[in-house]
Structure 1
């Protein structure tokens, strides 16, 4: 089970955002895909933030009460992003997920360039598949 790697179970084509996108454009992207949020990347595709549905919803509610103008991703994104490396183990990540709350982790290379994302669902599926493969061998 320790051989399970993030690179084998991550989403290599996640929804991403740039800092200059409007909230409206970001919400359109989020609602078009089955992802709870996504990394914000710069022009070199390095992770500079993370934008979640929760971040968008909070701002939309605030805007509806105060009739505020345009909001941009750079104003809403979280800058303290927890990332994982492609070579990280699934079990190690699962243990990390138990203590920390992000549901999606950007997967980066050694230079901080986005390679994909991995979610709790991906981790759960990977462990489940591995356990099922062991059950079949025993039967």
Structure 2
């Protein structure tokens, strides 16, 4: 299973966000893409943060209660981003996912530039595919 690499199962075209984007626009992108969160990137696609459905929901609820003006992604994003590398083993990523909260992780290169994302579902599918191939060999 060491041959299972993130690069083989990641989404290379994730929905991304910019820091100055209105939260409402971020929500629209998340909903359309059916993505639970996503990387916030600068103009060179270097990761500067992460925004989740939970971040957006919290801000939108707060806005309704306090009748506040629209917020920007920079106001709600998390600057401490858990990331993985494309060359990492899926099994290692699965173990990280068991301990850490995010359901998806940005995949970056060694310089911090976005290459894609990988979700729990992607990791589960990769492991399932590998296990099924072993079951067929045994049968």
Whether the TM-score (by the shorter chain) exceeds 0.5 is yes
In the alignment, structure 2 segments of 5+ residues that lack a partner are none
Which residue in the other structure is 1:138 paired with?
A: 138
Structure 1: gaps spanning 5 or more residues: none
**Stretches (4+) displaced over 6 A:** none
Size of the aligned set, in residue pairs, is 139
Superimposed CA distance per residue, residues 67-123 of structure 1 (whole angstroms, 9 cap, x where no aligned partner): 000100000100000110000000000011111111110000011000000001100
What SS does the corresponding residue of 2:88 show, helix, strand or coil? Answer: coil
What is aligned with 1:26?
26
2:121 is paired with a residue of what secondary structure? helix
Post-superposition offset of 1:2: 1.1
Distance of 1:104 and 1:12 partners within structure 2? 13
- Structure 2 counterpart SS, 1:59: helix
Q: Secondary structure at the match of 2:60?
A: helix
Counterpart position of 1:85: 85
The answer for the alignment partner of 1:110 in structure 2 is 110
Question: How do 1:11-90 and structure 2 match up within 5 A?
Answer: 11-90=11-90
| Structure 1 residue 34, shift from structure 2 partner | 1.6
Deviation digits for residues 42-81 of structure 1 (CA, Å, limit 9, x no counterpart): 0110000000001000000000100000100000100000
Superposition CA RMSD, Å: 0.5
Q: 1:134: how far off?
A: 0.4
**CA distance in structure 2 between the aligned counterparts of 1:53 and 1:16, rounded to whole angstroms:** 13
